[in-house]
Amino acid sequence: MSERITGHTLLVSLIATPIRHSLSPTMWNEAFAKNGMDYAYLAFEVGNEELADAVQGIRALKIQGSNVSMPNKQAILPLLDELSPAAKLVGAVNTVVNVNETGHLVGHVTDGTGAMRALASEGIDIKDRIVTMTGCGGAGTAIAIQAALDGVKELRIFNRDDEFYANGEETVRKILEHTNTKATLHHLEDQEAFKQSIAESSVYIDATSVGMKPQEDLSLITDPAVIRPDLAIMDVVYAPAETKLLKFARENGATIAFNGLKMMLFQGAEAFHLITGEEMPIEHVESVLFK
Ligand code: NAD
């Protein structure tokens, strides 16, 4: 790295807290090295209090762009000059582009496009399909909005009766107002409706934190009857690599069932392309991160 960095090296940042555990710096710096790009990526421990100064710093230091994570994904919205259509609808930003170093900052959200690319890479075209989802937190909202923008015919979102449910109502309202998708929100407690919905769907996406620690022993699908060979299943969780849902799917004959690793890699690749204009070498990055 020390041999690579010169007076010409361009900087991309990540602003979030806590952030020291993040895989993003490894992901991006490995990609820069592999592509022979004169860039560096650094993580900055920034919370809401320092956020305005940090955003001004992106402009002043001519940082090329930045990733944004919790707790700044929503707080950054009023500090930017422009939002992509998806970021505007989702109400969150995970990528900022400093357009031509002019200080004009455009906010994007790539979690949804990352999820759509993950589905496409498994041969799944969601256009004109019925999709059942669980979860309407950060990941669920980004996926639901992008699926609607990409032309999914019908989206049935199930969430338990918790603090995220109202968020789901807002997401459905936005989808109905701004896209041609038929979207509905249902209580996950209505298990008969949930099973019926999956039976009528081509794709099931679990966008909840179920399956990840400390909920690694849980799966929102428990009835083998709902697993059909032609039902594609995507779990946004990638640690553990095989969640309870994916184990259950494998044991009951699902042919396409995969974790959130691809979504994670593709959302990074989308951000990489937005900021640098280059393609992230995904296979190389994956081999380094998950060897
Ligand atoms: P969040 O806290 O915003 O939302 C959590 C969601 O999970 C809510 O809808 C909540 O109702 C639901 N939930 C939690 N426990 C539940 C339970 N026991 N039963 C039913 N529903 C339950 O979180 P988030 O930011 O949306 O992240 C959700 C998951 O997605 C996390 O595991 C996160 O690591 C993962 N994620 C993956 C990627 C990726 O690129 N693969 C990107 C973002 C998030």
pLDDT tens, 25-75? Answer: 999 999 999 999 999 999 999 999 999 999 999 999 999 999 999 999 999
Q: Tell me, what's the pLDDT at 291?
A: 73
Q: What is the pTM of this model?
A: 0.95
Tokens 């421990």 sit on residue:
45
Among 67, 208, 244, residue to substitute to test ligand 1 (most atoms within 8 Å of Cβ):
208
Nearest CA to ligand 1 atom 39: 264
Distance from residue 38's CA to the centre of ligand 1 (Å): 35
Q: How far apart are CA 168 and CA 147, in angstroms?
A: 14
Which among 38, 84, 45, 35 has a CA at the least distance from the CA of 64? 38
196 CA to middle of ligand 1, Å? Answer: 23
Q: Is the CB of 215 under 6 A from ligand 1?
A: yes
Among the residues of the chain, which ranges form H helices? 24-35, 48-60, 85-90, 111-121, 138-149, 165-178, 191-199, 244-251, 261-276, 282-289
Report which residue type is found at 56.
Answer: Q
Task: Report the pLDDT value the prediction gives residue 1, as an integer from 0 to 100.
Answer: 54
pLDDT digit string, tens, across residues 117-145: 999 999 999 998 999 999 999 999 999 99
CA-based torsion, 87, 92, 95, 99: positive or negative: positive
Q: Tens of pLDDT along 224-259? A: 999 999 999 999 999 999 999 999 999 999 999 999
For the CA of 142, the nearest atom of ligand 1 = 26
What are the pLDDT digits (tens) for 242-251? Answer: 999 999 999 9
Q: Whose CA is nearest to atom 18 of ligand 1?
A: 210
User: Annotated active-site positions, please?
Assistant: 73
C-alpha dihedral sign at 124, 130, 136, 138: positive
pLDDT number for residue 290: 82
Mean residue pLDDT across the chain: 96
What spacing in Å lies between the alpha carbon of 216 and ligand 1's midpoint? 13
pLDDT (tens digit, 9 = 90+) per residue, 194-218?
Answer: 999 999 999 999 999 999 999 999 9
Reply yes or no on whether the pLDDT at 2 is more than 70.
Answer: no
Q: Could you tell me whether strands 105-108 and 95-98 are parallel, antiparallel, or unpaired per DSSP bridges?
A: antiparallel
- Supply the pLDDT for residue 289: 87
